[in-house]
Amino acid sequence: MAIEFQGVTKQYPDGTVAVDNLNLTVEDGTITVFVGPSGCGKTTSLRMINRMIEPTGGTVLLDGKDVRDSDPALLRRGIGYVIQHAGLFPHRTVLDNVATVPLLTGWDKSKARKRAAELLETVGLPAELGKRYPAQLSGGQQQRVGVARALAADSPVLLMDEPFSAVDPIVREELQDELLRLQTQLGKTIVFVTHDIDEAVRLGDKVAVMRVGGKLAQYGTPSDVLRHPVDDFVASFVGKDRGYRGLSFLSADDVEVKDAPKVEVGSTLSGPNSEWLIAVNDAGQPRGWLPPNSTVDGPISEASLVAGGSLYEQGTPIRGALDAALSSPASLGVVVDADHKVLGVVTARQVLDVIEGHPQAVNE
């Protein structure tokens, strides 16, 4: 089932243009990956497919039909959707989580549970995990349950928003392999969102590189994008990144960690802040970001924070530092110590400069 974006724009009521005139076709039965730095409009683009977000301009077509002509609730039920941290219902067992959609579509309980059990097997989970609650599973297992639940919709379309970014790199590769294996059997139309170019080129039949401002920078096969980046932005996002894939052994010790603009949760701002601030708890651990010009009356609460990206633990391989910078809403990667206490911040530019200083390590 092909998905077509025709001149799709999303401007939020506050004026932010999250997606700007997106034109692109996701071919039937393929995996298309939307990749780009934090805030470039990936999630917004994805959610306009199942009408969790409505465009302010243009049209999204599913199988040639305008999605606006479908009832949003029915549309969503018919499209599998997986998010970071799996988004499982904490008070339902694993089996009941997976059975949710079949039950909603009117299946009786025993048939829905039987189907759910089959799906757990499909994603490589032992049947006995079905009785547990999500909190009793590892992060990787939870993500598999999330995939099983999305497959339960039995729809030809699957939307996946950074489904594997909260798990460690080894489990992440396992999950990627598993998805590729499943896809050879299922042949679904999958739209997958990530900020990780490695993941994008590994999984995607096609890769859509987006830039902040919601503009599509390049759309092509992984090899197109890697070999023929259309401009400097794609070259630096993809090209340098491609180089650093061989750099797992290089540590980021040469990257100067700058002082972090910090604020403590529970404290009160003395005036409007001009820059992004990392909000930390009393142990100095990051809880999220406070956007510039936040008008916080009274003590800063966790509810007023924007979720952060991945953290970079000092002394670990340099790709983590780049990941942290690219996934941060403030474009500043948060550097922490082994106790997850904030040490400071780095920018993607700083990391790339260090990588470029080691040309012998770049694997091209």
Of 134, 122, 54, 52, which is closest to residue 90 (Cα–Cα)?
134
Cα separation, 29 vs 32, whole angstroms:
10
Task: Please pick, from the candidates 5, 9, 26, 38, the single residue that binds ligand ATP as defined by CB under 6 A.
Answer: 38
Point out which span in 42-50, 145-153, 246-254, 356-364 binds ligand ATP (CB under 6 A): 42-50
Residue 329 interacts, among Mg ion, ligand ATP, none and using kind-specific CB cut-offs from 5 to 8 Å, with ligand ATP
Contact positions with ligand ATP (CB under 6 A) in 194-233: 195
Cα separation, 258 vs 344, whole angstroms:
5
Cα separation, 334 vs 322, whole angstroms:
10
Interface pattern 323-352 for ligand ATP (x via CB under 6 A): ------x-----------------------
301 binds ligand ATP (CB under 6 A): no
Residue 18 interacts, among Mg ion, ligand ATP, none and using kind-specific CB cut-offs from 5 to 8 Å, with ligand ATP
Nearest distance in Å: CB 260, ligand ATP: 19
Nearest distance in Å: CB 147, Mg ion: 18
Task: Please pick, from the candidates 42, 76, 188, 211, the single residue that binds ligand ATP as defined by CB under 6 A.
Answer: 42
Nearest distance in Å: CB 30, ligand ATP: 21
Contact positions with ligand ATP (CB under 6 A) in 141-200: 195
Residues 6+ apart with CB under 8 A from 316: 251, 252
Residue 44 interacts, among Mg ion, ligand ATP, none and using kind-specific CB cut-offs from 5 to 8 Å, with ligand ATP
Residues 6+ apart with CB under 8 A from 71: none
Size of the site for ligand ATP (CB under 6 A): 13
Nearer to Mg ion by Cβ, of 80 and 102: the residue is 80
Q: How far does Cα 330 stand from its chain's mean position? A: 16
Nearest distance in Å: CB 170, ligand ATP: 22
Q: Cβ distance 193 to 33 under 8 Å? A: yes
Cα separation, 53 vs 249, whole angstroms:
41
Cα separation, 143 vs 109, whole angstroms:
24
Point out which span in 8-16, 21-29, 122-130, 198-206 binds ligand ATP (CB under 6 A): 8-16
> Kindly report the CA angle at 120 between 116 and 124, in degrees rounded to 5?
165
54 binds ligand ATP (CB under 6 A): no
Nearer to ligand ATP by Cβ, of 83 and 116: the residue is 83
Contact positions with Mg ion (CB under 5 A) in 70-99: none
165 binds Mg ion (CB under 5 A): no
Nearest distance in Å: CB 100, ligand ATP: 24
Cα separation, 126 vs 136, whole angstroms:
14
Positive/negative CA dihedral, 349, 353, 358, 360: positive
Cα separation, 285 vs 290, whole angstroms:
14
43 binds ligand ATP (CB under 6 A): yes
Task: Please pick, from the candidates 9, 43, 93, 155, the single residue that binds Mg ion as defined by CB under 5 A.
Answer: 43
Nearer to ligand ATP by Cβ, of 292 and 357: the residue is 292
Q: Cβ distance 273 to 290 under 8 Å? A: yes
Point out which span in 35-43, 168-176, 282-290, 352-360 binds ligand ATP (CB under 6 A): 35-43
Cα separation, 316 vs 169, whole angstroms:
12
Cα separation, 209 vs 222, whole angstroms:
10
Of 337, 308, 301, 333, which is closest to residue 320 (Cα–Cα)?
333
Point out which span in 40-48, 103-111, 285-293, 330-338 binds Mg ion (CB under 5 A): 40-48
Nearest distance in Å: CB 47, ligand ATP: 8
Residue 13 has a CB neighbour count (10 Å cut-off) of 6
Residues making contact with ligand ATP (CB under 6 A): 12, 14, 16, 18, 38-44, 195, 329
Residues making contact with Mg ion (CB under 5 A): 43
